């Protein structure tokens, strides 16, 4: 039996990269998966791949900053599968600019997508996790949420907020058997970093910052997400898990 057998999981930002890897692995481990994103075509490709491999999944277009969209995602999930056991808040945006180069509008966009969406999503899902007898929330932060990243102040602030929101959630809802943990990826090869990695100098800089001397993959992150989503981590809540090739250990 799979590690997520009889579980229903919502995964945001799942049309590609880390979210897609999470969805494929979750389905392989027996979960019924609800994947959301704004990229409808790529999202349906993920759903088709899961179903072709014998898994169960539905795909829903979602703006994660919209309360109305969250309400619809919850409604469709319950209609399709009857419960919600796992929430992976993976959707996010990168905006590597300094404070002086930033605008209020861009700051608010970063905060809305990276932080407010998680607040809205948790608020929408937690009552149904309580009804199901508990659940697991995994919020994707970043190593920038653990250290003061250079040249990316607003992004760093947003990812630090994810870390602390996760801890607050863990403390408040432990009595309902709901666990909340954050994952902090290091330098990962995903569509979000694709343009940066075309610069060989930048790529070598990433290697130099990482003790294991390689970039991470979406599958590296998915394995950590699976652990925190599954009952294997049933006594773990409120923690941050760096998956970063040793970056944070320095």
Q: Given this model, what pLDDT does residue 94 score?
A: 85
Spatial separation of the C-alpha atoms in residues 24 and 111, rounded to whole Å: 28
Q: For residue 3, tell me if it sits in a domain.
A: no
Q: Given the residues 155, 173, 187, 247, select the one marked as catalytic.
A: 155
Position 157 in a domain: yes
Q: Is 241 a domain residue?
A: no
- Whole-angstrom CA distances from 54 to 10, 49, 106, 136, 162 are 18, 9, 42, 24, 34
Joined together, the tokens standing for residue 179 give 């666990």
Is 245 a member of any domain?
no
| Residue 209 near residue 247 (C-beta atoms within 8 A) | yes
From the list 114, 164, 140, the residue with the least C-alpha distance to 242 is 140
Residue 88 is predicted with a pLDDT of 98
What's the structural domain count of the chain? 1
- The per-residue pLDDT for 165 is 98
Do the domain assignments include residue 215?
yes
Classify residue 37: in a domain, yes or no. Answer: yes
pTM over 0.85: yes
Q: How far is CA 154 from CA 71, 95, 105, 115, in A?
A: 28, 8, 11, 11
3-state secondary structure of 235: coil
Rounded Cα–Cα distance for residues 100 and 107 (Å): 11
* Residue 244 domain flag: no
For residue 197, what are its two tokens?
Answer: 């990695």
CATH code of 107's domain: 3.40.50.720
> In DSSP terms, which residues pair with 140 in a beta bridge?
183
Q: Print pLDDT tens along the chain (250 aa).
A: 699 999 999 999 999 999 999 999 999 999 999 999 999 999 999 999 999 999 999 999 999 999 999 999 999 999 999 999 999 999 999 877 777 788 899 999 999 999 999 999 999 999 999 999 999 999 999 998 998 866 678 889 999 999 999 999 999 999 999 999 999 999 998 776 777 677 777 778 788 889 999 999 999 999 999 999 999 999 999 999 999 999 999 8
- Residue 200 makes CB contacts below 8 A (sequence gap 6+) with none
Indicate whether 134 belongs to any domain.
yes
Query: Which of these, 112, 226, 223, 238, lies nearest to 173 by C-alpha position?
Result: 238
Active site residue 248: no
Which residues span the domain enclosing 222? Answer: 8-236
């Amino acid at each position: 039996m799979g590690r997520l057998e009889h579980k229903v999981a919502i995964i945001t930002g799942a049309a590609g990269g880390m979210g897609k890897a999470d969805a494929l692995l979750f389905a392989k481990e027996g979960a019924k998966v609800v994947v959301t994103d704004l990229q409808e075509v790529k999202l349906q490709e993920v759903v088709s791949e899961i179903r072709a491999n014998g898994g169960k999944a539905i795909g829903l277009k979602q703006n994660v900053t919209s309360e109305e969209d969250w309400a619809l995602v919850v409604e469709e999930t319950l209609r399709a599968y009857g419960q919600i056991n796992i929430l992976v808040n993976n959707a996010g945006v990168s905006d590597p600019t300094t404070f002086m180069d930033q605008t209020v509008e861009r700051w608010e966009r970063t905060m809305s997508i990276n932080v407010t969406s998680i607040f809205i999503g948790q608020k929408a899902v937690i009552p149904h996790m309580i009804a199901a007898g508990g659940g697991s929330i995994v919020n994707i932060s970043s190593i920038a949420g653990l250290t003061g990243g250079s040249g990316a102040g607003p992004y760093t602030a947003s990812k630090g907020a994810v870390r602390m929101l996760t801890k607050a959630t863990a403390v408040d809802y432990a009595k309902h058997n709901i666990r909340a943990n954050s994952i902090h990826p290091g330098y990962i090869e995903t569509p979000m970093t694709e343009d940066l990695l075309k610069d060989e100098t930048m790529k070598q800089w990433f290697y130099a910052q990482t003790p294991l001397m390689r970039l991470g993959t979406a599958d590296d992150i998915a394995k950590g997400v699976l652990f925190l989503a599954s009952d294997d981590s049933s006594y773990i809540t409120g923690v941050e898990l760096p998956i970063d090739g040793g970056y944070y250990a320095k």
